[in-house]
A and B are shown apart, each in its own frame.
Chain A
Amino acid sequence: MLDRVFRNLSVRIGASVIALMVLVAIAAPWLGTVDPSLFDAGSRDLLPGKVGEITTLEGETLKHTFLMGSDSFGRDIYSRVIYGTRVSLAVGIATALLALAAGIVCGLGAGYLRWLDGILMRFMDGVMAIPAILIAIALVALWRGSIVTVVVAIAIPEIPRVTRLVRSLVLTIREEPYVEAAIALGTPTRKILFGHILPNCVAPLLVQGTFTCAFAILVEAILSFLGVGLPPDIPTWGNIMAEGRAQFVSYPHNVFFPGIFLAVTVLAVNILGDGLRDTLDPKMAKRV
């Protein structure tokens, strides 16, 4: 099954770009970057390629070429975008995992236990009825802007979507003869859920996971735009762009470079998602 997946062009493109981004994230300190939060008001708003100076915490200043220019604080955009890869990817992946985990537990429960179904799905309708952006803003305002808050804030509106997907999968799979055979063999419910039903949900969940990851990276940028995202000393593509948007016309490099990284990554994750869905489970798209 795996070889069939990797023969798909979209999967190959998507996966290789993401691998590159992960590499960039890991190798951030060795890619000619400086501490992203260091700034020197003197070297403010430098255009890409210019040379300026950065003062370290110890107070000594050092020459530095700003490959992607500097922002209104005088911070090096190149370093911030590279370090931003770490946080943006982390936000994307963590949100996807959290949404999947919670969604699986609720989805399995709602799909298999009839009495739980009614209440849980009404609750999920309730959560889904509230626009995702608003939940995110309220939650981030609730607990202060840290990575954990932002991930939870973006994950919560996604949970009902995963729950619905898992529930619909469980309702179809439990009618499959091999599940009925397992019941006839006296297999306890727990083993049926996690032994038979869940393994067969892996394909659609993988696909949904990629879409959630792409969506999470985007929402983080929007939260930063609205001023409720991660604080600037934790660089993400979103908040670099949000801060740089003020001088978009005069200094577009603030938005251009993080925008490229963001678009390429989200595009890669989406293409990977499309590729996975086409190879693993063409029927799944209807349920998304």
Chain B
Amino acid sequence: MFSFVARRILATVPVLLIVAVLVFLLLRLTPGDPAAIMAGDAASTEQIARIRAGLGLDRPIVVQFGIWFGNLLQGDLGESFYYKAKVTALIGQRLEPTLSLAALTISIAVLLAVPLGVIAAWRFGGWLDRALMAFSVLGFSVPVFVLAYILIWLVSLQLGWLPVQGYQRLADGAGPWLYHLALPSITLSVLYIALIARVTRASVMDALGEDYIRTARAKGLPELRVLVRHGLANAAVPIVTVIGIGVALLIGGVVVTESVYAIPGLGRLTVDAVLARDFPTVQGLILFFSFVYVLVNLLVDLSYVFLDPRIRY
């Protein structure tokens, strides 16, 4: 087991390296000049040139990469051009909202999607299967901001149950924290319910086709026992994999929900940084996402050991 984990962590180094180089070049090639952006409307071209020199952007790309990579090795992601703050601090401030939203969303999604998927697989081809799948696919088909507006209009404005926007730190009490995250996580979970339900249905359907289900039924076990202890238990690996993908997506890619609900998360920070050509922040964030993505994959792979005894590392 230990050698596997060590090997996987070593294997992440090339991936992160590739990501670092990819992002560095991608940003340098993007039009738009951070110095001009920051200098504001009335700055003259000379002033912009002075600022660019101050940021070290006038040096050749390879030198810039060398400096940035040198600092990276000492764990310093550098300082944001735009916010005059350490990138690590920026990420730290935004971590809690993003993780809270991700955790709440994925739990709602899993609690609803897995039973949905199992029932759909059990009644494969029947009207119930078709109905459940059509509903879950609906989650895929509506852009999240449209859904968000409808929910805000209905739940917050008309019914007044939940707030329209904003995020309350957990430290200021679990009540307001959950009170503010309820609507955003419900909006977001619709997409992930569709993602997870579809894979659950397919893998449980696969499992129900195996011989050991026939054995279980031949043993006269109640149908629910057959479905869960024999069907779902054997379908766990692909389900956990898709949940892993969901978590990774939730950390990095929920900028739309964060914008509509004004949640100061990593997604919004990244988009603002990309739009403001804040190179150090974008690089730091994307490295962070890649590390999280690789970490989630590792945890998912390790979880396989508990889900399927045949898998040994």
A218 to B23, CA, bound (A): 24
A241 to B260, CA, bound (A): 14
A87 to B248, CA, bound (A): 30
Q: Which residues of B contact A86 (CB under 8 A)?
A: none
Q: Which residues of A contact B252 (CB under 8 A)?
A: 130-131, 133-134
Which of A139, A227, A266: most chain B Cβ within 10 A?
Answer: A266
B286 touches A225 (CB 8 A): no
A131 touches B256 (CB 8 A): no
What residue in chain B is nearest A284 (Cβ atoms)? B202
* Proximity bits, B262-305, A CB within 8 Å = 1, else 0: 00000100110011000000100010011001100000000000
B134 to chain A, nearest CB (A): 7
Q: Which residues of A contact B206 (CB under 8 A)?
A: 282-283, 285-286
Q: Which residues of A contact B31 (CB under 8 A)?
A: 141-142
A141 touches B14 (CB 8 A): no
A142 to B130, CA, bound (A): 42
Q: For chain B, residues 1 to 45, give those with C-beta under 8 angstroms from any C-beta of chain A.
A: 11, 14-16, 18-19, 22-23, 26-27, 29-32
Q: How many residues of B contact A (CB 8 A)?
A: 55
A149 to B230, CA, bound (A): 48
Flag whether B138 is at the interface (Cβ < 8 A): yes
A131 touches B294 (CB 8 A): no
Q: Which residues of B contact A225 (CB under 8 A)?
A: 143, 145, 256, 259
Flag whether B255 is at the interface (Cβ < 8 A): yes
Q: How many residues of A contact B (CB 8 A)?
A: 51
A264 to B27, CA, bound (A): 36
Given A125-B15, A214-B141, A222-B144, A134 and B274 contact (CB-CB distance below 8 Å): yes
Flag whether A122 is at the interface (Cβ < 8 A): yes
A226 touches B15 (CB 8 A): no
B229 to chain A, nearest CB (A): 20
B312 to chain A, nearest CB (A): 20
A277 touches B274 (CB 8 A): no
Which of B137, B201, B209, B253: most chain A Cβ within 10 A?
Answer: B137
Q: For chain A, residues 260 to 288, give those with C-beta under 8 angstroms from any C-beta of chain B.
A: 262-264, 266-267, 270-271, 274, 277, 282-286, 288
* Proximity bits, B130-144, A CB within 8 Å = 1, else 0: 100110011011111
* Proximity bits, B108-150, A CB within 8 Å = 1, else 0: 0000000000000000000000100110011011111110010
Which of B14, B30, B141, B290: most chain A Cβ within 10 A?
Answer: B141
Q: Which residues of A contact B142 (CB under 8 A)?
A: 259, 262-263, 266
A207 to chain B, nearest CB (A): 11
Q: Which residues of A contact B275 (CB under 8 A)?
A: 137, 141, 227-228
Given A142-B29, A267-B138, A133 and B143 contact (CB-CB distance below 8 Å): no
Q: Which residues of B contact A286 (CB under 8 A)?
A: 199, 202-203, 206, 238
B130 touches A10 (CB 8 A): yes
B137 touches A221 (CB 8 A): no
Q: Which residues of A contact B188 (CB under 8 A)?
A: none
Q: For chain B, residues 144 to 179, give those with C-beta under 8 angstroms from any C-beta of chain A.
A: 144-146, 149, 153, 157
Q: Which residues of A contact B282 (CB under 8 A)?
A: 138
Q: For chain A, residues 119 to 145, give those with C-beta under 8 angstroms from any C-beta of chain B.
A: 122-123, 125-135, 137-139, 141-142
A277 to B124, CA, bound (A): 13
Q: Which residues of B contact A228 (CB under 8 A)?
A: 275
A205 to B22, CA, bound (A): 28
A14 to B146, CA, bound (A): 23
A288 to chain B, nearest CB (A): 7
A123 touches B18 (CB 8 A): yes
* Complex partner residue of B149 from A214, A248, A263, CB under 8 angstroms: A248
B274 touches A129 (CB 8 A): no
Which of A122, A134, A139, A227: most chain B Cβ within 10 A?
Answer: A134
Q: Which residues of B contact A222 (CB under 8 A)?
A: 143-145, 256
Q: Which residues of A contact B274 (CB under 8 A)?
A: 134, 137-138, 141
Q: Could you give 10 example pairs across A and B, Cβ below 8 Å?
A: A126-B18, A130-B290, A131-B249, A241-B143, A255-B146, A267-B140, A277-B202, A282-B206, A286-B199, A286-B238
Contact surface of A with B, Cβ cutoff 8 Å: 9-10, 122-123, 125-135, 137-139, 141-142, 214-215, 218, 221-222, 225-228, 238, 241, 245, 248-249, 255, 259, 262-264, 266-267, 270-271, 274, 277, 282-286, 288
Contact surface of B with A, Cβ cutoff 8 Å: 11, 14-16, 18-19, 22-23, 26-27, 29-32, 130, 133-134, 137-138, 140-146, 149, 153, 157, 198-199, 201-203, 205-206, 209, 238, 249, 252-253, 255-256, 259, 267, 270-271, 274-275, 282, 286, 289-290, 293-294
The 7 closest A-B pairs by CB, nearest first: A285-B202, A131-B252, A126-B18, A129-B290, A266-B141, A131-B253, A267-B141
